[in-house]
Amino acid sequence: MASQENPASRRLQSVKHIIIVLSGKGGVGKSSVSTQLALNLYASSPTSKVGILDVDLTGPSIPRMLGVDGHSVHQSSDGWVPVFADGSEARLACMSVGFLLKNKGDSVVWRGPKKNGMIRQFLGDVRWGELDYLVIDTPPGTSDEHLSLIEHLAPVQSKLSAIIVTTPQAVALTDAMKCLSFTQAVNLPVLGLIENMSGYVCPCCGEVSNVFSTGGGEAMAQREQLTFLGSLPVDTELVTLLDAATAPSEVPPGSLPEEGPRSNFTLLRRYKATSSAKLFEGILQKALASLNCS
Ligand SMILES: Nc1ncnc2c1ncn2[C@@H]1O[C@H](COP(=O)(O)OP(=O)(O)OP(=O)(O)O)[C@@H](O)[C@H]1O
Ligand code: SF4
């Protein structure tokens, strides 16, 4: 498709970088890494503008993790207005199929062409505006959604890069290798690999227990000449925070945070206090260094 015919090329012309987060296997923490990436990029400068697009059509979890579950997107004369997870500051734009479902528990059972149409709309019909970074959270594996993304993003190929998330277990690493071959097949530069759930830090004494094996991600990165961005241990504070992020409509009256009607800056502040946030700062620095070299 010629670039001028592709609606995504118009919508994304003011987006500087597009980072696609991939994992070979489900449940390894891709959505939580995407959320942390977006929060860290957002917090990296008082003016940075970040978007996060949840392309995990059958299991959208970004709205819940960002505390905007239950919000709906507005259709304007110039396309969909994303939900701003930071409220009136409007520097953290979020779009997900989760905002389009009538009920939270509704499942999306779509065939390839319908998924493809949805992704085309997410890229071509959303008013993303000027963004420094657009983070795209994808479903596990390499499926219809990934192929659609790459097809629709072809006109902005030079802005694209990927991060691969794995856990240390052999089965996850095997699937991460499949992800890597996908990136090679579609010519997508990889900023690096993150090993998530790498050990468990005891909240009482800080002792690290290697519940699963550990170090497999780093070894894979070395073998495949990828940048190893870092490890994130199992963090009970993180899971409590991201799994319980509350939609403002569900906050009991009188319990809103003092700084305004939105709970998300509370989310950012609470996230920044976790041990994962400190580790993620190092991951972000390495990812940005890779981005500047690519
Ligand atoms: N480092 C971590 N420590 C503790 N819990 C984590 C960590 N990473 C992810 N989790 C939790 O594990 C669960 C699965 O994570 P997440 O939804 O991010 O995985 P996913 O790879 O996106 O899954 P899928 O793509 O299959 O939906 C979530 O409850 C999340 O909060
Ligand atoms: S690591 Fe030590 S303090 Fe932590 S749970 Fe185990 S025994 Fe208790």
ipTM: 0.93
94 lines ligand 1 (CB under 6 A): no
The per-residue pLDDT for range 129-182, each reduced to its tens digit, is: 999 999 999 999 888 889 999 999 999 999 999 999 999 988 888 999 999 999
CB-CB neighbours of 157 under 10 Å: 14
For the chain, give the percent of residues with pLDDT over 90. Answer: 56
For residues 227 and 222, what is the distance between their CA atoms, to the nearest angstrom? 8
Q: pLDDT for 239-268, tens place per residue?
A: 888 987 654 444 444 443 433 334 557 889
Q: DSSP characters for 66-91? A: TT-TT--PEEETTEEEPEETTGGG--
* Residue 180 near residue 209 (C-beta atoms within 8 A): no
Q: What is the pLDDT of residue 1?
A: 46
Let me know: does 265 contact 257? Beta carbons within 8 Å: yes
Closest CA to 18 of 180, 200, 167, 157: 157
Would the CB of 2 count as within 6 Å of ligand 2? no
Task: Report how many domains make up the chain.
Answer: 1
Ligand 1 centre distance from Cα of residue 254 (Å): 31
244 lines ligand 2 (CB under 6 A): no
Residue 148's domain spans which residues? Answer: 3-293
Residue 96: which CATH number?
Answer: 3.40.50.300
Single pTM value for the model: 0.91
- Quote the mean pLDDT of the chain: 87
Confidence class for position 8, pLDDT limits 50, 70, 90? confident
